[in-house]
């Protein structure tokens, strides 16, 4: 194993036999001095600069999004009964609603592209076809709700649809991976405030899940164990990065988090994909989704933007015992509802960097109430 990869999953465990005074000094330095942290899921590093949290900010300030939405917007192409942008009309649905994306990024069948180069240049100029299906899941007929506003039974229905769509699309013979994801808020590129997410079923395993699967597989081969199971055990023991938990799921800020208030949501049981969840686990997942997104909204008293997605087992007919189901939440807000993090400069050209430590972010989120701030207004 390479020297970098041999470093402990959690920095603290590398100092188990160290005198307590020296250990405490090193632990304190993680909160005050620049250091880098290793992400074993992606085999990448992140620079952490906690001493910069007090630097002045004269950069871009985001507009706080208006929250005076109405329950049904006659101009919204996702509301019940309205005409969509592609010309189809939505049914008068009263629960979740799934439809094929009218402007899909992928198509189920199309001819392969011609070779982009001949002879010696072919390995440098590669292109190949990519088939797929893209669907939209409307969480609710209510235009003015997001997940933290929804009753638990309605969120449980969303969890069921995530599972149903994963199974249905994963059974298509050309699909190797099903990606469920949500972009919430204009800051994360959402084109419509109506509560919804997307499901893309893809012919090849995409880059980010593929990186994680390689690391999960290598860890299993070397240690005979699941990387995320072992990591969750460490986090539950140390507790400083745990945000919320119940009998079946845990929400935490990863030790190697990149985004200011990034979290990971993962099951305690080793399962590979959403369709493998039991009824009790789906109830627990709905509970955790509501609790976590409520804490997010309460952090800055705003409908908190994020990109969220599930990483799960490929659907390529092969066995994937290394896979452990988990969701990533990547929110951009940093200091307030109006100051966000940008991935630019050093982070685009070298590696990710953050100022706020994962431990501080987790503590901030733990302090938040699980009663939604706007429900008491």
- Residue of 143, 194, 196, 324 with catalytic role: 196
The residues pairing with 265 across neighbouring beta strands, listed in sequence order, are: 251, 327
The alpha carbon dihedral of 31, 33, 34, 37 has a sign of: negative
φ, ψ for residue 188, nearest 5 deg: -110, 20
Tokens of 271: 């399962």
Residue 104's Cβ-side half-sphere holds a number of Cα atoms within 13 Å equal to: 19
Residue 297 burial class via C-beta count within 10 angstroms: exposed 0-12, middle 13-18, buried 19 and up: buried
Please give the Cα distance from 346 to 125 (Å, whole number). Answer: 28
Please give the Cα distance from 374 to 304 (Å, whole number). Answer: 12
- Return all residues near 178 (Cβ < 8 A) that are at least 6 apart: 165, 166, 169, 170, 199, 200, 201, 202, 312, 315
Residue 316 burial class via C-beta count within 10 angstroms: exposed 0-12, middle 13-18, buried 19 and up: middle
Our answer to whether residue 196 is catalytic in this structure is yes
Closest CA to 142 of 59, 72, 92: 72
If you ran DSSP here, which 8-state letter would residue 276 be given?
Answer: G
The residues pairing with 244 across neighbouring beta strands, listed in sequence order, are: 251
CA-based Rg of the chain, rounded to a whole angstrom?
22
Q: Which positions are annotated as active-site residues?
A: 196
């Amino acid at each position: 194993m390479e020297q970098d990869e041999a470093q402990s999953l959690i920095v603290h465990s590398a100092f188990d036999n160290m005198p307590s005074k020296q250990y405490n000094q090193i632990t304190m330095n993680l909160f005050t001095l620049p250091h880098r942290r290793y992400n074993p899921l992606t085999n990448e590093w992140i620079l952490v600069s906690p001493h910069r949290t007090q630097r002045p900010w004269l950069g871009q300030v985001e507009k706080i999004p208006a929250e005076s939405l109405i329950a049904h917007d006659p101009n919204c192409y996702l509301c019940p009964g309205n005409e969509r942008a592609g010309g189809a009309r939505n049914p008068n649905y009263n629960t979740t609603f799934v439809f094929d994306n009218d402007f899909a990024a992928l198509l189920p069948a199309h001819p392969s592209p011609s070779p982009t180069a001949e002879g010696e240049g072919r390995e440098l100029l590669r292109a190949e076809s990519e088939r797929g299906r893209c669907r939209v899941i409307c969480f609710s007929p209510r235009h003015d709700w997001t997940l933290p506003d929804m009753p638990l039974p309605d969120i449980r229905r969303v969890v069921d649809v995530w599972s149903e769509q994963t199974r249905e699309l994963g059974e298509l013979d050309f699909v190797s991976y099903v990606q469920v994801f949500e972009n919430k808020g204009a800051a994360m590129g959402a084109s419509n405030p109506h509560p919804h997410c997307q499901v893309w079923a893809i012919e090849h395993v995409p880059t980010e899940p593929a990186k994680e699967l390689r690391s999960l597989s290598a860890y299993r081969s070397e240690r005979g164990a699941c990387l995320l199971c072992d990591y969750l055990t460490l986090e539950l023991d140390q507790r400083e990065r745990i945000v919320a938990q119940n009998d079946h799921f845990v929400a935490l800020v990863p030790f190697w988090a990149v985004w200011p208030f990034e979290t990971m949501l993962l099951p305690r049981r080793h399962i590979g994909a959403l369709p493998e969840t039991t009824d009790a686990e789906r109830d627990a997942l709905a509970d955790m989704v509501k609790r976590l997104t409520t804490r997010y909204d309460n952090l800055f008293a705003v409908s908190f933007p994020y990109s969220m997605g599930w990483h799960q087992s490929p659907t390529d007919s092969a066995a994937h015992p290394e896979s452990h189901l988990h969701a990533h939440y990547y929110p951009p807000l940093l200091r307030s509802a109006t100051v966000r993090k940008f991935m630019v400069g050093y982070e685009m050209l070298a590696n990710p960097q953050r100022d706020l430590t994962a431990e501080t972010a987790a503590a901030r989120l733990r302090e938040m109430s699980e009663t939604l701030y706007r429900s008491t207004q």
